[in-house]
Every structure is written in structure tokens, then in C-alpha cells.
Structure 1
Amino acid sequence: MWTLALLSTVSYGALYYAQPLLAVATEHALGWSRVQTGLAFTLALLVTAFLAPAVGRALDARGGRTLLTGGAFLGALALLTLALTSSYPLFITGWLLAGVAMSLTFYEAVFTVLGQQVQGAARTRATLTITLIAGLASTIFVPLTTALLEGGGLRVAFVSLAALLLGVGALTWRVLPPRARKERDVQVVPFTPDSPFVRLTLAFTLARVVTVGVGLQLAPLLLAAGYRPALAATLTGLLGLAALPGRVVFVPLLARVGALPLTVVLLAQLGLASLLLLFTHWPLLVGLGIVAFGLASGALTLARVEVLLRHSGAAVFGAANGWMARPVNLAQAWTPLGVGLLFTWTGRYAPALLLLAALGLFSAWTLRTLARQSSVGVSADV
């Protein structure tokens, strides 16, 4: 558990949260535009999305030791490639390699390996621990990357982050079991998505659109409404900070409410909280909306694992999670472009927030109707 937590934290920190800072430094060093660096990172996220089903099936079949270790080493190779690049094609190649590494080291892969080794309440507690630790990735790696860039420059930053990934990769190889733990006399059948699973995927995909869309627009929204930069930054940081207690509260609520009903509430909370952000002239309502949104988005990380495990089971969790991860990650990759275009067309943030709120409420309705149907594969008490 601690190794998987460390792997998640370093991978998210070095390959995801450090990217904006590394992109700006790369633009200054090589004279490239934000479009060029942004396109490379978008391509990396698209690679992660398209590889997710294959990675999930491979993890079900082989376990995580080789694949997760390889992902960490590949991430290090990607960063070293970026450290040495002076041409744009090689820069794209480095981020494509990083996209493969993300698919092997981010939550989807880590939770699959965890589910192979730990079951029941122990798995829920372990998942919570991993998300709480990895939730600090931005808190750790944004100032760390800044210090590396200021102290040694772009190449030193890339090489240092690569060294961290190499170290955590070596630890992963040493600690993780060589193969998945399989129950005896259990025949594993290939995963085939059914109608309830497709609706689950739709709900979590819409939720990702909402969380990414609100996260991108919150600071600009507050600044446009006249909030001081320091206050806008503080409130934006509160969005991520609130995710941590949201995950802590999720575990006791899970036992009382059940995973699917609780997920319905969390999705509805995303939509309603998005609506509160429209009332920028009432800071108290905005603060309440930010806290409610952060609590829900943090808890949904755990909710997805719990609902998916109860629907598909641990034996094919990797394949099921990978199948779901593709549209979810594609939504993450394309949402920045979508909300940006909507703002360009309207010149206002309100239309995008209204759309995001509607998507959040629709995702809750999707799971609500699923929970009320007696013939679905997810029981009402999950």
C-alpha cells in the first residue's frame, strides 16, 4: 500500500502537476508557444486514454509488478528525453512516452493492483490512504519543480524528476508481488460491458467533465468578478484542499449508505455546487460552493472504485476499469478545449457553469434511475 501510494504521488507529481511549470520553462528556453507545449501534453493524455483498456487487461492477466515498474522507468525515460530535446518532434515523442507511463502508474493501474492483493474493508482503507497521500502530489511537486527550475534550470528539473521516478520504480519492483493473487477454483471470464456498466461509465465521464471544467474556470471566474488575486488563489486552492476530507468522510458513509446511493448524492452535489459558483457577488455562497464541490470530487475518486468493484468483481477489475477509463480520460483531455471555445463564443463564464451543472445533475439522474431498476447488475445496497 505504501509503495503504491508513493508511486502514485511521484507519478502524478512528475508527469502531471509539474507539466505547466515545465511547459512555461520550455517555452522560454526554446522559444515555443503555449499551443505547442499544450498540444504535446494533450497528446500524452490521449495516449493514456486509448491505452487504458489494454493496460487493464494486461494487469488482470499478469499482475502489476512488471507493468507498474516499467511505467515508472518509462516515465523517467520520457523526462530524460525531454531534458535532451531541442527539436519539436523529439519533444512530442517525450510526451507520448509520458502518456504511456501515465497509463501504467496513475490511479487506474494502481487501484487494479491493490484490488488483486487486498479485499473488503481493508481494500477500502488502503484506497483511502493512497488517495490521501497522492492527493498531496501537487502540494509537493509544484514548489519542488519551482525550486528545481530556479536552482538549476530546465534540464536539471527534468533529470531530477526522472531520478525520482527511477527510484520509485526500483522500489515498486522490489515490493510488489510478481503476479496477481487469484482465488482458487474461480474461472475468470472475459469482461464484457453490459448496459448498467455503460451507464456507470457515462455518469463518471460526465463527472470528470464537470470537475475538470470547474477547476479550469474557477480562478479566471473569480478574477473577472473582481476578486483580488490573493483571494482568488486562496479560494481556488480550497477546491483541492476540500477533496481530502471528502475522501475521509466517504469511508464511514459508505458503510451506512452504500456505494451507489452515495455516488448519486455526490454527483448531484457536484451539479448543485457548480450552480452556487454563479453567485460571485455573494462570496459566502461561492465559498460554500467551492467546499461542497471539493468534498464531492474528492469522494468520487473512491466511489468509482467501490461501485466498479461491486459491479465487475476483482478478477476483471483491470479490464473493466480500463474500459471505463478511456472515455473518462478522453473527457479530461478535451474538456479544456470545450470550455475554452464556449467562453470564446459567449465571452462569459456563466454559460459553461450552467452546462457543467446540468451535466452533473444529469449524471446523478443516470445513476438514480439505474439504482431503481431491479434488473441491473448493480444491487441497490452496494
Structure 2
Amino acid sequence: MAEARRTGVVWTLALLSTVGYGALYYAQPLLAVATEAQTGWTRVQTGGAFTGALLVTALLAPGIGRALDRHGGRTLLSAGAGLGAVALLILAVTPPFPLFVLAWLLAGVAMALTFYEATFTVLAQAVPAAVRTRATLHVTLVAGLASTLFVPLTAWLLQRGQVGGAATGLAALLLVVAVACWVGLPATGGRERATPLPFTPDATFARLGVAFTLARVVTVAVGLQLAPLLLAAGHPPARAAFLAGLMGLAALPGRAIFVPLLRHLPPAPLTALLLGGVGLSALFLLRPQGVEVAALGVVVFGLCNGALTLARAELLAGRYPDTFGAANGRLSLPVNLAQAVTPLGAGALYTLGGSYAPSLWLCVGLSVGAAWVVTGRPDLKKP
């Protein structure tokens, strides 16, 4: 594939991930609150529908990975953006609750086809291994702005047209992206085999699955509880909001420094270092009353969490280059299931313990365990 064509693929995938995450994930809390105000539904109802979407995403990931290995991404990723638009258009008409749930389940299918798991697979097919890490960095740097762009955009759309107008506007963006994927992605990105190469999980894959599942529990638990934790520690709402936003911004330089760090550290030790950093940030947040300590914890967390996105792709693509889609999809199942159930577990720990300390200490322990799992396998250091 020519250099100009590869660049177009990278930017198309970056656009897809940005709009996919922004419209289907980061917009959800604001859409949920507005929907509750219009319908009288409870947070349990709107949150339950979104949890169902995340579960659908997790369960479909292995099959979608295999399909991408076989067929490439043009049709599947274009369809994913289109399905997301359809789901949002259903939400725009304020449907009865069963149809509301169905729309979010459909959005779950769209998430599986537009989030990093799918875009990284197509990226690995489209670019040479020598430039894969840098191309992945470009995608994640752009998509890392999804929350920064789409939270205020969704709020503005809700002010202008309530749920119907906001959902319609977001759906229109996804339709534009669907067309961009159809035009910008190669017609055949897979390996065009009658059947894809079989992927058999080995001991290394099992260890990676454990490590990144534990990591996802930690990152979701810390990210979810950060704002209320800071408020409970006595920080004013404006400062708490600023620090919570700083977490997302810090992820961008974390991704930017990952590539130069790879020149000095192999992927496995670097991943273990990042996992340890996430655990260290949880330690800082155990006593976040001082703004300096709270800011340090937030920045360390954001840097390490942002870089872990690239670390996962680097380890999988280096270890399973011919079955990356299947391996990535299989790994996504436990990781995304952990993402779906962690909010419930974190809430239960807070209710039982009366503070955020139990879940933060658990995050420290899980981070240490994940780092040990990664460094405890010499074969992870092999290309």
C-alpha cells in the first residue's frame, strides 16, 4: 500500500474511533440524565441499558476479531458506524423503554465495530510492522480527544434540541464517518483466506488476559470514582472537575512518550512499569485532600493509563502478528466484561466500607498483580 494511502487509512481510523467513542460512550451520561428528565425513568434503567450495551460489545469481540482477520475492515467498520447512527436515531424519538434498551444493545454492536479493538486490528493489516506503533499512536492521540470534544458538544446539542436533537446530531456525525470508512479503507484488508488462521490461546495469552483484565478493573474503578472522591475530600466542585478533566488530558502525553520509551525498554517491562504507575496513582489518591497530591495522582494515572492502550496493542501484535484480530478480540472479552461489572463492584465496596479506601487499596493490589503477571513470563519478551 502506498504511503499516501496508508496515511489516509490511519486518519480514517482515527476519525472513526474519535466519533465512535464520543457519540456512543462519552455522550451516554449526558443523554441518560436528559432522558430521565423527559421520561421519569431511573438511573438504574438508563444505566442498566448501557451496561447491556457494554456486555454485547464484550461478547461480540472474539467473533468480530476473527471476521476482521478474514475480511478486513471496510464493510464491517462502515456498518458499525451506520448501526451506531441507527441506534441514536431510535433514541432520538424517545421510544418506550423496551425499544430504548434495544437501541442501546444495537449501540453495543456498533461499539464493538468502532472502538479500539476493531480499529487496531484493521490498522495492523494496513501498515507495516515497522511503523505500526507510530500509526497506532496517531490514532490514539486523535481519539484521546473524544471526551474533550464530545462532552461539551453533547451538552450544547441538548441545550439546543433536548434528547431528540442531540441524538440526531450525533447520529449524523456517525453517518458521515460510515461514508468516510467506505471511501477511506481498502476494499480488502484481510488476508483473503477461505478460513482464517486458527488462533489457539497459549500460556502467554492467558497471562496477558489476566494482566489486562486486572488493569481494566483498576482504570475503570479509579476513573469512575475520581470526581466523587475529590468532592468527598473537600475539593470545590470546580477544582474537582478540573482535576477529573486533567486525567484525560494527561493520557495524551502518556501515549506520545510510549514510542520513544520503546527504544529503551522492551514492551513487557515497559508495560509492567506502566501498571505499577497506575497502582502508585491509587496510593496518592488515598489521601487526596492536598491539591498537589491529588494532582500528582491524577497526572500519573492519566499518563500510565494512556500509554497502556498502546502497550496492549504492541504486545499482541508482536506476539500474534498473523492472528492479531482473533487474539485481540479474544482478549477483549474478559477485559470488556470487567469494564461492565467494575462499576457495580466499586459501588458495593464503597457501600460496605463507607469510603473509597477499600476500592483504592484493591486497585493497588490488582496493579501489582498485573505487573507481576507481565514480568513473570520470559516469553513475553520475545518478538
Q: Give the TM-score taking structure 2 as reference length.
A: 0.95
Aligned to 1:339: 346
> 1:188 deviation in Å?
6.2
> 1:340 deviation in Å?
0.3
Q: Equivalent of 1:363, from 343, 361, 370?
A: 370
Q: Equivalent of 1:288, from 273, 293, 296?
A: 296
CA contact (8 A) 1:149 1:157 kept: yes
1:167 aligns with 2:176: yes
1:61 aligns with 2:70: yes
Give the AA of the match of 1:80. L
Aligned to 2:6: none
CA contact (8 A) 1:57 1:322 kept: yes
Q: Distance in 2 between matches of 1:243 and 1:130?
A: 13
Give the AA of the match of 1:302. L
Aligned to 2:34: 25
1:243 aligns with 2:251: yes
1:37 aligns with 2:42: no
**Total equivalences in the alignment:** 373
What do residues 261-280 of structure 1 show as CA deviations (whole Å, max 9, x unaligned)? Answer: 10011011111111111122
Structure 1, 319-328 or 271-280: larger mean CA deviation: 271-280
Aligned to 2:223: 215
> 1:256 deviation in Å?
1.4
What do residues 29-80 of structure 1 show as CA deviations (whole Å, max 9, x unaligned)? Answer: 1111111000000000000000000000000000000000000110011111
**Unmatched runs of 5 consecutive residues or more in structure 2:** 1-9
Give the AA of the match of 2:360. L
Q: Distance in 1 between matches of 2:196 and 2:347?
A: 44
Q: Distance in 2 between matches of 1:50 and 1:181?
A: 22
Q: Equivalent of 1:151, from 145, 152, 160?
A: 160
> 1:14 deviation in Å?
0.5
Q: Equivalent of 1:269, from 262, 277, 281?
A: 277
CA contact (8 A) 1:202 1:363 kept: yes
Q: Equivalent of 1:95, from 87, 90, 104?
A: 104
Q: Equivalent of 2:325, from 300, 314, 318?
A: 318
Give the secondary structure class of the aligned counterpart of 1:316.
helix
> 1:381 deviation in Å?
5.4
CA contact (8 A) 1:258 1:381 kept: no
**Unmatched runs of 5 consecutive residues or more in structure 1:** none
Give the AA of the match of 2:65. G
> 1:341 deviation in Å?
0.6
Q: Distance in 2 between matches of 1:303 and 1:199?
A: 14
Where in structure 1 do 4 or more consecutive aligned residues deviate above 6 Å? none
Identity %: 62
Aligned to 1:300: 308
Q: Distance in 2 between matches of 1:78 and 1:181?
A: 28
Q: Distance in 2 between matches of 1:276 and 1:308?
A: 31
1:122 aligns with 2:124: no
Q: Equivalent of 1:131, from 122, 140, 146?
A: 140
Q: Distance in 2 between matches of 1:290 and 1:142?
A: 20
Aligned to 2:56: 47
Aligned to 2:3: none
Give the secondary structure class of the aligned counterpart of 1:153.
helix
Q: Distance in 2 between matches of 1:234 and 1:152?
A: 27
